[in-house]
Amino acid sequence: MTPHICSIVPPYLLRGIAESDACEQKHKECALRSLHQRNSYTTKRCNRFAHLALPRAARAAAGHQPQQHQSIVPEILLKHIAEAEDVDEETKARAKRDSERIHAATQAYQKQLTGEGQADAEEQSLEADSKKKPKPDGFYRAVYDAQHTEDETELPGKVLRVEGQKPNADQAANEAFDNVGKVLDFYLQKFQWKSIDNKYMHVLSSVHFGQDYENAFWDPERMQMVFGDGHDFLYKFTACIDVIGHELTHAVTEHTSPLEYEGQPGALNEHISDVFGIMVKQLVEDETADKADWLIGEGCLLPDVKGVALRNMKEPGTAYDDPRFGKDPQPATMAGYKRTSEDNGGVHLYSGIPNRAFYLASVAFGGYSWEKAGQIWWKAMNSGRVPPRCTFVQFADVTTEVAEELFGDDAAKIVRDAWNEVGVKRKN
């Protein structure tokens, strides 16, 4: 099995370009570069979700510190904000305050590591002082220029725009900055979830990654968004809010119910990202479930491509049919489900099955998708009842149970009927 990192463009689409006789050689080479770059990140996501699936004691025994690098980047970010001339004064003051708090906490931690001053008056004073400091009351965003590097160690890159600054001349930077903010506002407004980790984690993005890189992804090691500029087939990743919602949700999933990234749990991992990506898109466009198009990555296909999006949650398998891409291979029901070693057991391929179930439930409930169906899926992911190796049937059971708890028997029947229609049903 090949490990995998999530990127919005599925590997089977890139492989279709690379192997198509209808594509020019330069297009094949571009797709191959994107595939190779994707594969260079693959181990990280699998390892990360496998680690998160371990019991807490086992994680501690492994000595894994998944976010240790984050103590460096936010300090640099806060420094950028505090020292920038064109950042508004309120944001600058908040950044300076938070920088001082991080510095104090770091000093205390270093003392503990070296064994200095254990339980002495100075440390007690520092601890008391840290308790007086205000907790984070908002997130900081920053967008950097990757300057076309494909070397992860060079990320995030050169700073382009930070919290409190006005738009600049770089359109991709402004789109990434604004759309990240809209996604995080969506989580806060509709689910009372603060940033990615529910603790106002800062969110970094790097634009202009790679040469003609036709993809966007969440880097689980750098803990940031990464956007390519696109090329001859796929582009405008920073402009598609559902793409950003999808990728940021992978990070949110790490803090709710981490689903192992292969087979059915991996497909559910992808499905959850599509669900919250499509909901934020529908919020921005003010569309009810019955009026929405349910297309993921609608704006990513260049005009001459025969297709409408990367995925169609309403009708999986109909998003595109182009001689250079091939036909969208997603099945809409379990009748098309077959075990495969490709794509980590079909994590992108089979996410269409639960995607359609969510669409059916949302339309049956009526109104906006986040009012009932979204609340059910969100509570399910925060219920503690979704195991790391969750199957489609198990997830159907949990969402049905949660529907009954939140909205009663009729809601439970709507959710169960949606899963039954896509063939996810118990044998008895």
* 287 in active site: no
* 348 in active site: yes
Q: How far apart are the first and last CA of the chain?
A: 32
Catalytic residue among 163, 214, 247, 254: 247
Say how far apart CA 206 and CA 172 lie, in whole Å: 10
The SS3 assignment for 240 reads coil
Closest CA to 345 of 280, 294, 248, 270: 270
Name, in order, each residue with C-beta under 8 angstroms of 343's C-beta and a sequence gap of 6 or more: 4, 10, 11, 12, 349
> Are 332 and 352 in contact, with CB atoms under 8 Å apart?
yes
> Are 218 and 6 in contact, with CB atoms under 8 Å apart?
yes
The beta strands (E) that lie in 348-400 are given as: none
Closest CA to 368 of 272, 292, 275, 276: 292
Containing 396, the helix (H) or strand (E) segment is helix 392-407
Catalytic residue among 27, 202, 231, 348: 348
CA separation, residue 235 to residues 9, 214, 301, 302, 311 (Å):
11, 6, 7, 7, 15
**325 CA to centre of own chain:** 24
Say how far apart CA 403 and CA 406 lie, in whole Å: 5
User: Which residues are catalytic, by number?
Assistant: 247, 348
